[in-house]
Structure 1
Amino acid sequence: MQLATRAVVTAVLAAAVAVAGYLGTMPLSIAAAVLAVVLALGWPTLAGLPFVPGSAAVVALGGVGAVGVVHVTATQPFLRDLPVVFAAAVLLAFLNELLRRDGRTRLVESVSGTVAGTLVAVAVAGWVAIGRTPGGEPIVVVGALALAVGSAVVALPLAPWVGALVTAGSAAAAGALGGLLVPGVDPLAGAVLGLAVGILVATLHALFDQLPSLERRWPSLAAVTLPVTVTGILVYVVGRVLVG
């Protein structure tokens, strides 16, 4: 999948999250769970892990479990049980290694890569948490809007540092515009949120864009999903600090 195509798909996924956040908690939770599963299916190959089926299962269980726990948590803080889910997923990562029958080559790499993928998948629950927070729906929309713009701009053929600055600036501008258009979010808070999202998008682009595995379907899908899942926890933290 080419860079421009990946950028468009990521922008579309971010827009879908914005629409789901506007529609309510259940659509947002379903969207987050689907994102976690898609990430899980492609993450082991994207990261070059040796035992693809087991690592994919651990990442998927961690991501979907995190979304489910946050969705059913009755009162704030909605993320209070998230460490328990992640700890259980870490144990599953070790169980995954015990189930291998290939001589357990690259054991440390396999465990660390699986845990890292699980952490990324668990982060998607941040979208659900901020969506359930009173007054949080506008933050979901503004954060997803900034992510969509940043993901589209990052594909421009610019020098690395120039591209990073343009991406961060564009996402900040989109966040400020979202703050102007969406009630409940101050334009300055939207700009700061957009800036944080833009920096994250530029960083992930620099980390993953040159991987040879992106020529294949599932790793490419994991790569386009990755910014959306990671941004979930970022939007939650920054949104709670700036908006309350």
Structure 2
Amino acid sequence: MAVTGFYGTRFLALGISALIAVAAFGWPRLLRVYRRKVSTVIIAASGALSVVAVGLGRGEPYLRYAVAAAAGAVLLSLSAELFFPSPPGRAVTSVTGMMSGAFVAVSAGAWVAANRTPGAADLVVAGAAAIAVAGVAAAFTRRPTVNGIIALVLGTATGAGLGHLFDSISWAGGALVGIVGAASVVTVTELATREPAPRHALAAIASGITPVLAAGVLVYLSGRLLVG
């Protein structure tokens, strides 16, 4: 993420699309959706539509173009249940599972929107780097509380350090993006510990990718607050 963001919006969009494609295969298993192949197509299509719409949209705020992808995700999820019904008693679970996965994929378009915002490209790099560091720190020890504290501290420090290096943002702005990104990692990691361990590798990968994709909205909002 940090590397693709450094090379520009096009490479960032390709990197985000690759993460969405990989995660789309694991989310149905992670969310225990009945029609896995259908769910994979819906999640991948929703995320791709969001990235393309935000990447090609004209005029700020760029994130507004993701609204069409969100609406499409809802319609596709409901239509899938009509044409590919789940067993009795699992319809609501399947629809909500597909929608939640699709919305996370749609929210990933916010990374592209943030990168396209004038003056906010460095925030994307700082946020992605902070998330990467926090993700590693979240597995330092066997004590979740200690890991969470370490992840927040190192994520904030990473953002602040990059903010000090970049001319377009201050160290305080970098620290804000860093702690926001680290908080998303810590939150999702804590929620994951309350669920049974994924039995499939793709489900585990999707669980790890989720905070990266979802944090795009937080980085975008931080960019709007700091850059305007």
Q: When the two structures are superposed, what TM-score results if normalisation uses the length of structure 1?
A: 0.89
3-state SS in 2 of match to 1:214: coil
2:108 to 117, 124, 137: 124
Matched, 1:109 2:86: no
Name the residue aligned to 2:173.
189
Deviation at 1:104, TM superposition (A): 4.9
Find the counterpart in structure 1 of residue 41 from structure 2.
57
* Contact 2:163 2:174 survives alignment (8 Å): yes
User: How far has the Cα of 1:28 moved from its partner?
Assistant: 0.9
List per-residue Cα deviations over 1:111-167 (Å, max 9, x = no partner): 111111111111110110111111121011100111111011000115333322221
**Equivalent in the alignment of 1:179:** 163
Alignment of 1:64-79 (within 5 A): 64-79=48-63
CA contact (8 A) 2:85 2:91 kept: no
- Would you say 1:97 and 2:81 are equivalent positions? yes
Q: Distance in 2 between matches of 1:28 and 1:115?
A: 24
Take 2:43 and 2:195, find their aligned partners in 1: how far apart are those partners?
20
Corresponding residue SS for 1:146: helix
What RMSD in Å do the two structures reach over aligned CA positions?
1.5
Equivalent pairs counted in the alignment come to 228
- Equivalent residue, structure 1, for 2:120: 136
Q: Secondary structure at the match of 1:86?
A: helix
What are structure 2's unaligned runs of at least 5 residues? none
- Aligned residue among 142, 145, 148 for 1:164: 148
Aligned to 2:206: 222
State the AA in 2 paired with 1:218. L
1:24 alignment partner in structure 2: 8
| Structure number with higher relative contact order (C-alpha < 8 Å, ≥ 6 residues apart) | 1
Alignment check: 8 A CA contact 1:58 1:118 kept: yes
Q: Distance in 1 between matches of 2:86 and 2:121?
A: 47
CA gap 1:242/1:158 in 2 versus in 1, 3 angstroms: farther
Distance in 1, Cα, partners of 2:198 & 2:107: 22
Deviation at 1:210, TM superposition (A): 5.2
| Partner Cα separation in structure 2 for residue 165 and residue 203 of structure 1 | 12
Percent identity (aligned): 34
Matched-pair contact (CA < 8 Å) for 2:185–2:212: no
Q: Secondary structure at the match of 1:76?
A: coil
Question: TM-score of the superposition, structure 2-length normalised?
Answer: 0.94
User: Retained in 2: the 8 A contact 1:46–1:213?
Assistant: no
Aligned to 1:33: 17
Instruction: Note if contact 2:23-2:209 (Cα within 8 Å) is conserved in structure 1.
Output: yes
| Per-residue Cα deviation, 1:88-128 (whole angstroms, up to 9, x for no partner) | 11010011111225535411111111111111111110110
In 2, Cα distance between equivalents of 1:198 and 1:80: 25
8 Å contact from structure 1 (residues 189, 243) kept in 2: no
Hey, what's the Cα distance between the residues in 2 that align with 1:36 and 1:145?
A: 19
Match of 2:27 in 1: 43
Letter in 1 for 2:218: L
> For the Cα contact (< 8 Å) 1:45–1:52, is it kept in 2?
yes
Is the contact made by 1:97 and 1:104 (CA closer than 8 Å) also made in structure 2?
A: no
1:154 to 106, 125, 138: 138
Q: Secondary structure at the match of 1:79?
A: helix
